[in-house]
A and B are shown apart, each in its own frame.
Chain A
Amino acid sequence: MVGAMRPPRSSTHERERADDAPVAELVRLFREHQLGLARTALMIVGDRATAEDVVQDAFVEAHRRIGRLRDPDRMLPYIRASVVNRCRSVLRRRKLAFSLARVHEPPVWSAESAAILGEERREVFLALQGLPRRQREVLVLRYYLDLGESEIAEVMGIRGSTVRSTTARALATLATRLGEKHDQD
């Protein structure tokens, strides 16, 4: 009599190796992308301490959910989206806390930072601050992280066509505020 065949059970060692792989990938991503992601968050939230917290928290959360992040190709988009979402939460909380707390840390677009950044760059950041949240994010992802349309769409959870139109509107508004002629590409 021939019994039903069962797939061979993997050894303990093999199972451990399979569990290690996502963690190792996460550690590699942290090493390679922590700086870039912290800098990206800095452009959105304005100060280094918060930016660093946001990135740390995104990786801690990714580690907590490591069991659901088996595909290494999906990890970086997931973490990028997590960073952007956390930046949004920070900005929302700041709006609520604005009248209650005194913020000591000058944002990157403050007068205090002008000496480090230069007046011209500060002018760009001030103009950027005046844009709606989604437009700011699109510009940071496009012109700092150099992400393509589809990658931005994935990070922000919007369609590619929306990325295109949002970018165009943001650049036009920015050009007007900076007193420049806006050329449509």
Chain B
Amino acid sequence: MTRTEDRLRDAFQGAAETIRPGSLTPLTVPSPRRRRRLWGVPIVVAGVLGLILVGTSLVAGRMSPRPAAGSRILSGAPDHVLAIRNGRALVEDGAGRPIARIGGERYEAVAATGDGRVFFLASASASGKSSYTFYRVTLGANGTPSGPEKVRTDDPVRMDSGLGKPERFAASRDGSKLALVGANGGRSGIVVIDVRTGAQHDMEEVGRALPASSATWAPDNRTLGYIAEGEDGRPALYLLDTGQDQLTPRVLRSATMPDDALINVFVVDPDGRTLTAQVQGAKHGPGDDADYRLVRLSAATGQPTGWTARLPTDSFFVKPDPTGRHFLQIIDGRLGRVDDGAFSWVSSATDYTDAAW
């Protein structure tokens, strides 16, 4: 075999491995048409066909129908998305079709854990928007949600700045901790809740007036990432080890990129080695145009590494799936997704407040 043939085989093998076994959509065929047959209509055959195909889907562990053409780009991603729309929590499939509604109203935010099944919902208390109640919901394999189970907390959890975007509510991958970041009492604030005991740890960042944002948990389930005002008054990416008695955040990097682009929001990827950040490029032109992209950064150095995905416009939103290869986007209330570096819209509806998978 020649060197060229060797290289060809190696390149093909490398590219082939980007499609992992078990990540493809199961086969779904259209309903069989009626056909004129001399000896009758083979209803039983159609039934058997259905059973065989459904059985195949069950074996593959994927029961969702084939998504619409525009969203099939997302195959390999989780089958279910938990979305907040008009204060309601809905389980949807990967194409934005509702599967089930979770009881209750006034939901403002949702955070996923690392297994794609357990989610936490944040609900604004009836007394006012600055205090929150949390619920745990578990999805079955077919997307059926459990009833919302209230998370006990010692005291009402307050966050004056609310849970708007960029993301201010996050659950650790093991589901043991929740975090709210924002502002309390006019200062940047962070609240960490121990889900098991209900204890909460409030941290007020003295001297920093800007609300913290972009809450994200590292896979160690103790390091919380967020964006807050840096020493120089400009926003910076912070990492905080919540497992220590003395909470001392460390600056990972400035939120400003060398080309004057700005990191709006970031998440620590499930492997812990990289971050994925939504970046707004430097403004230019008479209309203050800018480009918007999702960028992968090294968690160690904060420097760009790996792919970049172009986004249609600013999103202030990025939610990874458990693999870190698929990301949800909400742009102007519309749900989109980025799969292996490619953006596509999921739904044309524009009432999405939050979503996670």
Contact = CB atoms under 8 A, between A and B. Distances in A.
- A and B together in one complex: yes
A46 B12 CA distance: 11
B52 A121 contact: no
Nearest to A140: B12
Interface stretch (A26-34, A68-76, A88-96, A156-164): A26-34
Nearest to B76: A48
B15 interface: yes
A89 to B, nearest CB: 15
B199 interface: no
B309 A51 contact: no
A60 B53 CA distance: 12
Contacts of A16: 42, 44-45, 48
B25 interface: yes
A150 interface: no
Contact of A47 (B4, B11, B45, B342): B342
Looking at B29, B59, B66, B339, the one whose CB has the most chain A CB atoms below 10 A away is B29
A52 interface: yes
A43 B56 contact: no
Given A27-B53, A112-B307, A104 B343 contact: yes
B2 A171 contact: yes
A20 B48 contact: yes
Contact of A120 (B7, B21, B310): B7
Contacts of A42: 15-16, 18-19
A23 B12 contact: no
A19 B4 contact: no
Contacts of B300: none
Given A60-B30, A104-B309, A117 B24 contact: no
B20 to A, nearest CB: 9
Given A43-B12, A104-B342, A144-B12, A178 B4 contact: yes
A27 B52 contact: yes
Contacts of A31: 56, 59
Interface in A11-39: 12, 15-16, 19-20, 23-24, 27, 30-31, 34-35, 38-39
Interface of A: 12, 15-16, 19-20, 23-24, 27, 30-31, 34-35, 38-39, 42-43, 47-49, 51-53, 55-56, 59-60, 63-64, 104-106, 108, 112-113, 115-118, 120-121, 124-125, 128, 139-140, 143-144, 171, 174-175, 178, 180-183, 185
Given A43-B12, A56-B66, 14 more contacts: A15-B39, A39-B16, A42-B18, A49-B339, A52-B25, A59-B27, A64-B30, A105-B73, A105-B341, A112-B309, A113-B341, A117-B11, A120-B11, A143-B12
